[in-house]
Amino acid sequence: MKKPQDQKSVMTRRLRVILTIFTVITVALVGRLAWVQVVWGPDLAAKAQEQRARVYVDPARRGEVTDRHGNQLAYTMQARSLTVSPRLLRSELRQREDLQMRVDGVPREQIDAELDGRVEDILETMAREIPVMIEETGAITGEVKSDDILDKLKADSTYEVLVRNVDPDVAAEIAATYHGVAADHQDIRQYPNGAIAENVIGKVSMDGQGQFGLEASGDATLSGIDGRSTEDVSTDGQAIPGTLRDVVPAVDGSSVELTLDLDLQTYVQQLLEQAKVNSQAKSAEAVVLDVATGEVLAMANTDTIDPNGNIERQLAAGKDFENQTISHPYEPGSVAKIVTAAATIEEGLTTPDEVHQVPGSIHMSGVTVADAWAHGVLPYTTTGIFGKSSNVGTLMLAERLGEERFADYLDRFGIGRPTGVELPNESSGLLPPLEQWSGGTFANLPIGQGMSLTTLQMASVYQALANDGERIEPRVIESVTAPDGTPQEVVEPARTQVVSPETAGMVVDMFRSVMQDDPGGLQSGTGANGAVPGYQTSGKTGTAQKVDPNTGAYSNSDYWITFAGVAPADDPRFVVAVMVDEPQRGVEEGGGGGQSSAPLFREIASWLLNRDNIPTSPPVEDLLILHAQ
């Protein structure tokens, strides 16, 4: 038997061992806790926060686009996008199914064996039934494919859009039915007029970003600033009260009023489409400007796409979103001769009634240039040179002006640089700088060859002369209004006094000769079929040879047919510029009207003058003298 003292010693040793073990365990636990809190803590807290926190985006409503009379051209309609966080969804489904099977008393081994399959079944059910719910209600247009949805549910990502443009009520029902599916706010951009003015307006992408036209160039103005907030959610997707934070309200986009006139734009587009069919041309385009302001009233070209239709099918059929009136320059031909006329009148080098002995050809700058018709020496007045569209007479006047002064006037009229209109992809055209002019350059430019310009640039030249010689940079934006109704500042267009008011009035009056009709033919102009009954009109025809890509020389069969004019000439209100690309016959019904785009000017000008009740012009008693006796 052990002595009490020995027993006490054993107990003491045991107590020390136990205390030591307890101390070691305590130190280990404290150390582990400290390690978790100090080392792992921030990372674990971040992961927990990432799992709980949801960032919600409140999209700003895109501003509407209207014409000058308030007619809607583009506006936004509310819809929903069905979205998921695939990785989080699958994780939460696994947790939910695991818990349910444990509650049901399923053994652990069976749970592990069946868990993946149960999650897969749920995903397949969602992918199969969501399209059915959408299609049964007609919530969107187009087909929703189950395979596409299943691929997104299985994606290794934190955010996927299952379906866009869903009716809000249907989206809410789907979100309530299926765990992890959110009905996010989405805006659908509507274009109520289809293809009308779409070359100007453009469209937005599925993500709401401007892609073409004003939607692209004005994206920052129209789009606004999205709002944002953060809120924690439980494992079943329910919001945790009191966790809403970092709330930044959305700022809606501003609305833009364009200078376009929807009725006029519609008429011009339809007229051009019919002219293309009548003439069997490749394309046609037109621009209408307000003389006093330089505002674009219509800007149209053929084959404009309808954003509400099947885009791929339309693209395959040759339609597009391009605005060719500002992006596709071409040689203007004789329509540009008005620059030579204005420059020589302004410089006092000729008068409208001066008689010139015009031969059938002229040798200038190392090349020989002839008129479009063979003739001997003819006594043309300055007015007659342009009314008859004589290349030779125009170059005779250009020689008086000289290369440097002619180049200066081209610059004053804005040739060779963009107009600055508030639209994307505007071309500056093509004008060789004076220092690069070769021997034949000065024999081409005064008659509208050797340079290229857009239909808008061409219209701008005529606007300057119709507006007492002051060129106003064309503008397509009338006003911008903030969401709260506050008018926003719009940059005023630049103004340039190109020639004096006296010169401008004289030139506009001279170019009435182009549309003059003389029963005897002697004093007739080249665009008599562009005249508007009851009104004085002024303008110029143009026929520019295209370059044959096979020979590199000017073609004798392919042309750009142009016309630009002013209506009425005695009180200018409108400028109309037209181009038809490679017409095979006339632009009028049945191919009539000759190889001229003057009839299109006549139809557009007539429509405007009639619609706006413009008083008829005073009758003209005497014909302008083109061919002196």
Active site positions, annotated = 334
Which of 510, 504, 508 lies closest to 623 in space, CA to CA? 510
Q: Please say whether the beta carbons of 310 and 408 come within 8 A.
A: no
109 contact partners, CB below 8 Å, separation of at least 6 = none
Matching residue, tokens 């997707």: 237
Question: CA-to-CA distance for 86 and 182, rounded, in angstroms?
Answer: 12
Question: CA-to-CA distance for 9 and 236, rounded, in angstroms?
Answer: 60
Strands annotated E in 233-331? 245-248, 255-258, 283-290, 296-301
**At 319, which amino acid appears?**
K
Q: How many residues does the chain have?
A: 629
573 contact partners, CB below 8 Å, separation of at least 6 = 290, 291, 292, 567, 608, 609, 612, 614
Which of 193, 189, 231 lies closest to 209 in space, CA to CA? 189
3-class secondary-structure state, position 46: helix
Question: CA-to-CA distance for 298 and 267, rounded, in angstroms?
Answer: 9
Q: Please say whether the beta carbons of 76 and 187 come within 8 A.
A: yes
Strands annotated E in 167-310? 182-190, 227-232, 245-248, 255-258, 283-290, 296-301
Rg (CA), the chain: 37
* Parallel, antiparallel or unpaired: strands 283-290 and 574-581: antiparallel
Strands annotated E in 291-387? 296-301, 355-358, 361-364, 367-370, 378-381
Question: CA-to-CA distance for 86 and 416, rounded, in angstroms?
Answer: 54
Measure the N-to-C terminal CA separation of the chain; round to a whole number of Å: 160
What b/e string do you get for 154-171 counting C-beta neighbours within 10 Å, with b at 16 or more?
Answer: beeeeebebbbbbbeebb
Query: Rounded to the nearest 5 degrees, what angle is found at the Cα of 307, between the Cα atoms of 303 and 309?
Result: 90
**At 32, which amino acid appears?**
R
Q: Token pair for residue 349?
A: 């080098």
Strands annotated E in 282-420? 283-290, 296-301, 355-358, 361-364, 367-370, 378-381
